[in-house]
Amino acid sequence: MTGRFANIIVDISHEKVDRPFQYRIPDDLKTQIAVGMAVMIPFGMGNKLIKGYVMEITDKAEYDENKLKYIDSIVKGGISAKNDSIQLAGWIKNNYGSTMISALKTVLPVKQKRKQIVKKTVICKVDSQTALQKAEVFDQKHQTAKARLMRALSKQSALPQLLVTGKLNITVQTIHALEKEELIEVQAEDIYRNALPENIEKGWQKNQKKYLSVSQNHIVDSIIKDFREGIRRTYLIHGVTGSGKTEVYMELIDHVIAEGKQAIMLIPEIALTYQTLMRFYQRFGDRVSVMNSRLSAGERSDQYERAAKGEIDIMIGPRSALFTPFERLGMVIIDEEHEGSYKSENMPKYHAREVAGALCTIKNAALVLGSATPSLESYYKAKKGEITLFELKERIAGGELAKVYVEDLRDELRRGNRSIFSRRLHTLIEDRLKKHEQTMLFINRRGYAGFVSCRACGYVMMCPHCDVSLSEHTSKYQNTSRLVCHYCGYETQSVTNCPVCGSKYILGFRAGTQQIEELLHKEFPSARVLRMDADTTKNKDSYERILSQFANEEADILVGTQMIVKGHDFAKVTLVGILAADMSLHAGDYRAGERTFQLLTQAAGRAGRSSLSGEVVIQTYQPEHYTIIHAAKQDYEGFYNAEMAYRDLMMYPPAAHMMAVLVLSDKEAIGSEHAKMLVNRAKDRIQKLNRTETMVIGPTEASIGKINDVYRYIFYVKNRDYQVLVALKDDLEHFINKMQWNTDSVQFDFDPINNY
Ligand code: ADP
Ligand code: ZN
Ligand code: ZN
């Protein structure tokens, strides 16, 4: 496209400059400049050079063209945004309330120069007999370094140079000298940084295609039929772990590639295991690449570059892999689509599932979601017919689902058992120790959970307005405690007796991994115990070390937080204990039930993955809670119906939409005042728009009231129409601008997943 003017978004994230600025294109750049390019432009009064992105090239001047400034230059080696990326950024800006530049930065991979990595190998040019003779000659001449290298090479004819200069302590000069004598040569090889671990490359053997089962085939055929006919939809595959979803994904990708298209597959970082990668690599060889958080910025931009050049067809990775710049994207697959990690915690707080939907529309690609426990959002859409639903009901390898017991901890107390282990769990652990099988014990959080419940009747103190559990806040100074709702700020005094049964055993819930470890040592002195939580995994590789120790059967019992529940298969684990399901059930937010159901399902999936059959013990004070009942039966549909009824009644997503507004200030009074002003403004707008069904909740202090000396206030707005919330956000933003508050001091989060 040619034109004389460029409309440019500047690289400053501020509401006030969140619009295109027009510049003149100098003659010498006219043939080079294109939409999406990064350019340097003089900006502001001082004409300081800053970066910007070209959004549009046009012949129409918006002002007197003589007053327009000239673009200074094109940023060398800068990544330029494709038209699709700009559209996608626009979508993110509109739906999550960010500035265009921060949306652009989200979708654009950062260009990073990498250092060339060259692997050098020292190779012996003579046979081992001759090498040994030479070594002896060097010894006689007291040239010990040369002797040492030749002797080493007589045993092994090729050695990495790093080993020679390192372990053998031989200088580069000595190596050069031997090269001159034509005894050795040094081969250099440029390693193109591939993100795959080295041993995966070595293990590559093409094609491990399986014959799909009837139900697997049905899914593949239906989706591919649509694909060939040019129909692009969203599909949801609901199937338990081991039901063959990954095999279906691979078959789909195969077809997509055969049609000349490319695919992105998202998996949660924690599930990016060696086994998964191996399977993809075995099937697709080096047409696959992988992205993960351990890659350096350079490695990452290498992967993006290979994708942009079309050297690969498949990108596997967490959230950010979605922004792989594929020219011919045909399909996006999101495995474990219910995972909370698909939601970004940084501004803009986008959800990868939703952004994937927008991306697929822009690129005309199909979207495939998969999960054993679909998010309520996706299942709700499936029920409404917006998503095509497929089910995989059985495990491929046969293998019974584990037997699940629900143990009533109130009953244990009545019978005088005050231990954290129910009698059944105790017996089963003993049994496994005898049989030399392994046990995993799981506690939702480390330490202290916040909610208050009655150990005698199971009653939990709830907010009367929000129907979520109240959290206990204890003041160290006055030795008093109060119960607070994190949504609406409702407060009440702590109680000493249960309002339902009068028992005095109504307490905050305290149980941590460390305590459990100690108890295990006491009750099962012979057991070898490993513990995995945030404390024991502070070191970078301790996570993998603990898992491999457990896999090697160096321990009988693994105790841990949610970290241990996901994605790992241990053949010898036949018992899983969830010590207090209540801890996740009463996390104080509307998603607690959904998360608990997912967790219990996953935990149950950990037991009995091999030929040994498994048992699961769920301990709880509320065995009558619908989440526990349906989880024990592995009845997703039943859970969905009950949970949707609750969401609908309380207007929680996906029955409605919810916008969290977080107000930050380094001064307590200002934060609180601003939050109040915004709430009043919101209420005022709603009244004017006659949107009576909109609810404003709060403001209140956030559950973490202060982080790094910044005070945090929160309020929520609920409405059944997402666009009403977007419009309200736009209005609040104008208000913030008018008041000249710092724009970073207010954050918006749509359909929040995390607690504030
Ligand atoms: P999921 O992704 O649902 O957990 P997988 O695709 O990993 O399920 O399948 C579970 C196991 O069954 C894997 O070991 C896989 O190789 C195997 N498998 C899947 N489909 C088939 C098939 N059609 N024939 C034989 N084995 C299969
Ligand atoms: Zn009670
Ligand atoms: Zn409340």
pLDDT tens-digit series, residues 138-154: 999 989 889 999 998 98
What number does the ligand 1 atom closest to the CA of 243 have?
Answer: 3
- Separation between Cα atoms, residue 215 and residue 389, nearest integer Å: 13
Cβ–ligand 1 distance for 278 under 6 Å, the answer: no
What number does the ligand 1 atom closest to the CA of 279 have?
Answer: 16
What number does the ligand 1 atom closest to the CA of 211 have?
Answer: 23
- Separation between Cα atoms, residue 268 and residue 334, nearest integer Å: 9
Answer whether residue 448 shows pLDDT above 60.
Answer: no
Between these two residues, 401 and 218, which has the higher pLDDT value? 218
State in Å: Cα 489 to ligand 3 middle: 6
pLDDT tens-digit series, residues 311-337: 999 999 999 899 999 999 999 999 999
> Which of 215, 218, 247 for a ligand 1 pocket mutation test, highest count of atoms within 8 Å of Cβ?
247
Answer whether residue 397 shows pLDDT above 50.
Answer: yes
- Separation between Cα atoms, residue 400 and residue 613, nearest integer Å: 7
Cβ–ligand 1 distance for 216 under 6 Å, the answer: yes
* Angle between helix 83-96 and helix 100-107 axes, rounded to 10 deg: 130
State in Å: Cα 589 to ligand 3 middle: 10
Q: How many CB atoms lie within 10 A of CB 739?
A: 11
pLDDT tens-digit series, residues 43-62: 988 889 988 888 888 888 88
Backbone angles phi and psi of 185, in degrees to 5: -140, 155
Nearest ligand to the CA of 458 is 2
Read off the pLDDT band of 251 (50, 70, 90). very high
State in Å: Cα 503 to ligand 2 middle: 5
Nearest to 753 by CA among 222, 216, 352: 352
What's residue 568's pLDDT? 66
Supply the residue whose CA is at minimum distance from atom 25 of ligand 1.
210
State in Å: Cα 504 to ligand 2 middle: 8
What is the Cα 158 distance to its own chain's centre?
Answer: 42
What number does the ligand 1 atom closest to the CA of 241 have?
Answer: 4
Cβ–ligand 1 distance for 239 under 6 Å, the answer: yes
What number does the ligand 1 atom closest to the CA of 248 have?
Answer: 6
- Separation between Cα atoms, residue 301 and residue 388, nearest integer Å: 35
- Average pLDDT over the chain reads 86
Six token digits for residue 366: 């199909």
Cβ–ligand 1 distance for 247 under 6 Å, the answer: yes
Read off the pLDDT band of 645 (50, 70, 90). very high
State in Å: Cα 628 to ligand 2 middle: 19
What number does the ligand 1 atom closest to the CA of 239 have?
Answer: 3
Which residues are registered as beta bridge partners of 50?
41
Between these two residues, 359 and 452, which has the higher pLDDT value? 359
State in Å: Cα 367 to ligand 1 middle: 21
Read off the pLDDT band of 675 (50, 70, 90). very high
Q: Are 591 and 653 in contact (CB under 8 A)?
A: no
